[in-house]
A and B are shown apart, each in its own frame.
Chain A
């Protein structure tokens, strides 16, 4: 029944957008969630969570216990939502979870490999269970094990593997049937820096083949490196989403200005600048240098003029660029670029 796979791959979902001011490209989503609520007894793991996941590599970012894994499991039908639904390629998780699963690859966050099998056996076995023919699945297992970088060890029992190798085999079993949608739950967990880098490179390569790859993580730098789009979740709620480059771009019209000079001239400059535009933030850096966040000074030449007059030197003058950590922290402060 390859139809189910094609469904997931090709159909355009029929649904109404979650947010009126949603991100660009609405209608091209493979995967979206509507008002998803999941609770475990008194713990509310997901609380009315709605999101549209565009194609490409999407980061699902949030602190421990935010509900990232729960969201992935709910998408697979491994936990039953109290409310809401998930749509994958036009399929509804409430009634068609089997067809959804058939087009999905899942790399769980915890250990899940059968220790008595070797990597080839395991990957080809789960390829068969995903509906591959015997010969295809054997051939493809070797192909994906080559891809993830498991060498001759593939013939050794999995119980003898290091954490890094297990992570690679977990990834291999998730991509053996080449699903259009991939859930990677903390793919770099437990790996050393080099292993992380390799894993991220693998994710990047998989993502370049027209797939939707949802990568959950609480490591900001990683997500920033590989993801085109970022969804930030906390306490089971969506707190922020957007393209990585927009999220880190900072607010429009806000400039970051670094100046250098003696104390007197710095004070004079800041006073004069304050009359010309709004100073949002001023940080002293060791007495002789300051970095200012300013808004509303359209004209750069005016600033350069003021600097000349007050005898300070301009070291850097550029639009504000946040790193993801800043975005993350701001979204939790309830502020953020469209919050305040």
Chain B
């Protein structure tokens, strides 16, 4: 009758602790991301456009120490932001939308996984990939710069390296909640990807149009506000037309509001249906 003759075999193995299960999600996203040709191409292009020149100049031209002003401009936050939003759109767009459209949420949440674990796993995987673009190259640049410096004031250089690490972490994390939020609002990956990308440009265009009249509007461009924030982290003075309060309010809400919406969207799936 074509009935499978294989008997059911019990399994008696060790199971990992509940709090380790988030790493499964994280690792799977990271590995899946690295296998994607699009992600690889984007990472290489971004490196070439954003950092290749800086590496060459650091290696070729002598420098006494790692200088905060120099590193802040070498960080190239504006250029980095353009690639970062593209990479975010590529890697986060399917992370939630695919589970929404396939209803595979129930497979997670019928297991010992909480909403928080699920989100930490998904966001963690995305952040790890983002760090290959936004954290690793600038930090590497700073390290190379310290290794090749001619002066002996290593202490001041190390402090700048510290700022580079902080700036790298900030830019790495910055777009991820936003991308995940858009992914949680639709069942179609393409909508999420295009939405992430387009809203970035719409904000940039609005910012450009209004700053014709008042330069304070520049803060609502994510790329501009990100580069002001990086300048600030490196201890550089901001232009007088930038209101620090408005800048930080914008940056904080760009992270917090999407994170809250995302949590609410996933929580509704975990309990309720």
Measured CB to CB, the residues of A under 8 A from B are 1-2, 4-5, 76-80, 98-99, 101-102, 104, 106, 108, 110-116, 125-126, 128-133, 136, 140, 143, 146-149, 173, 175, 177-178, 194, 197-198, 201-202, 205-206, 208-209
Q: Which of B20-28, B79-87, B191-199 contacts A (4 or more CB under 8 A)?
A: B20-28
The 7 closest A-B pairs by CB, nearest first: A131-B15, A178-B11, A106-B110, A102-B112, A149-B4, A128-B24, A131-B16
CB <8 Å contact, B109 and A78: yes
Interface bits B1-24 vs A (CB < 8 Å: 1, else 0): 111101111111111111011001
The answer to whether A125 touches B104 (Cβ under 8 A) is: no
Complex Cα gap A206–B111 (Å):
20
Q: How far is the CA of A242 from the CA of B255 in the complex (A)?
A: 56
> Using Cβ atoms and an 8 Å threshold, which residues of chain A touch B205?
none
Report if A177-B15 is in contact (Cβ < 8 Å); known contacts: A101-B110, A114-B99, A198-B2: yes
Looking across the interface, which residue of chain A has its beta carbon closest to that of B99?
A: A114
Known interface pairs A78-B110, A79-B272; A133-B13 also in contact (CB < 8 Å): yes
Q: B98 at the A/B interface (Cβ < 8 Å)?
A: yes
CA distance A205 to B10 in the complex (A): 11
In the complex the two chains form, is B1's CB within 8 Å of A130's CB?
Answer: no
How near does chain B come to A272, taking the closest CB pair, in angstroms?
A: 50
Are A132 and B13 within 8 A (Cβ)?
yes
CB-contact partner of B13 in A102, A115, A129, A136, under 8 A: A136
Residues of B at under 8 Å CB distance from A?
Answer: 1-4, 6-18, 20-21, 24-25, 28, 98-99, 102-114, 270-273
In the complex with contacts A1-B15, A112-B103, A194-B2, A205-B7 CB distance below 8 A: yes
Q: Closest approach, in angstroms, between the C-beta of B24 and any C-beta of chain A? A: 4
Say whether A129 contacts B4, CB under 8 Å.
Answer: no
Contact partner of B110 among A2, A104, A194, A208, CB < 8 A?
Answer: A104
Q: How far is the CA of A217 from the CA of B51 in the complex (A)?
A: 61
Complex CA distance for A229 and B145, rounded to whole angstroms: 74
The answer to whether A130 and B8 touch across the interface, beta carbons within 8 angstroms, is no
| Residues on B with beta carbons closer than 8 Å to the beta carbon of A80 | 271-272
With A78-B110, A106-B110, A205-B7 as contacts: A112 and B14 at CB distance below 8 Å: no
User: Contacts A133-B14, A146-B6, A201-B4 hold; do A79 and B104 have CB atoms under 8 A apart?
Assistant: no
A98 touches B24 (CB 8 A): no
**Inter-chain contacts of A130 with B (CB < 8 A):** 15, 21, 111-112
Query: Complex: how many Å from CA A144 to CA B109?
Result: 21
Q: What are 22 of the A-B contact pairs (CB < 8 Å)?
A: A1-B18, A101-B110, A102-B15, A102-B18, A108-B103, A112-B104, A114-B104, A116-B98, A126-B107, A129-B113, A131-B21, A132-B16, A140-B11, A140-B13, A147-B4, A173-B107, A178-B11, A197-B3, A198-B2, A198-B4, A202-B8, A205-B7
Q: List, in ascending order, chain A residues with CB within 8 A of B10's CB.
A: 178, 209
Contacts of B105 in A (CB 8 A): 112
Contact with A208, one of B8, B12, B99 (Cβ below 8 angstroms):
B8
Q: Are A98 and B112 in contact (CB under 8 A)?
A: yes
Across-interface contacts of A194 in B (CB, < 8 A): 1-2
Q: How far is the CA of A149 from the CA of B2 in the complex (A)?
A: 10
- The answer to whether A113 touches B102, judged by C-beta atoms less than 8 angstroms apart, is yes
List 11 additional contacts besides A114-B104, A131-B20; criterion CB under 8 Å: A79-B273, A99-B112, A102-B112, A106-B106, A106-B107, A112-B104, A129-B25, A147-B6, A149-B6, A177-B15, A205-B8
A146 to B9, CA, bound (A): 11
Knowing A1-B17, A198-B3, A205-B7 are in contact, say whether A110-B112 is a contact too (CB < 8 A). no
Task: Name B121's closest neighbour in chain A (CB-CB).
Answer: A129
Contact A125/B28 with A78-B273, A102-B112 known, Cβ cut-off 8 Å: yes
Chain A residues in 8 Å Cβ range of B107: 106, 108, 112-113, 126, 173
What is the distance, in angstroms, from B268's C-beta to the closest C-beta of chain A?
12
A111 nearest CB neighbor, chain B only? B103
Q: Give the distance in Å from the alpha carbon of A149 to the alpha carbon of B22 in the complex.
A: 30
User: What residues on A are CB-neighbors of B1 within 8 Å?
Assistant: 194, 197-198
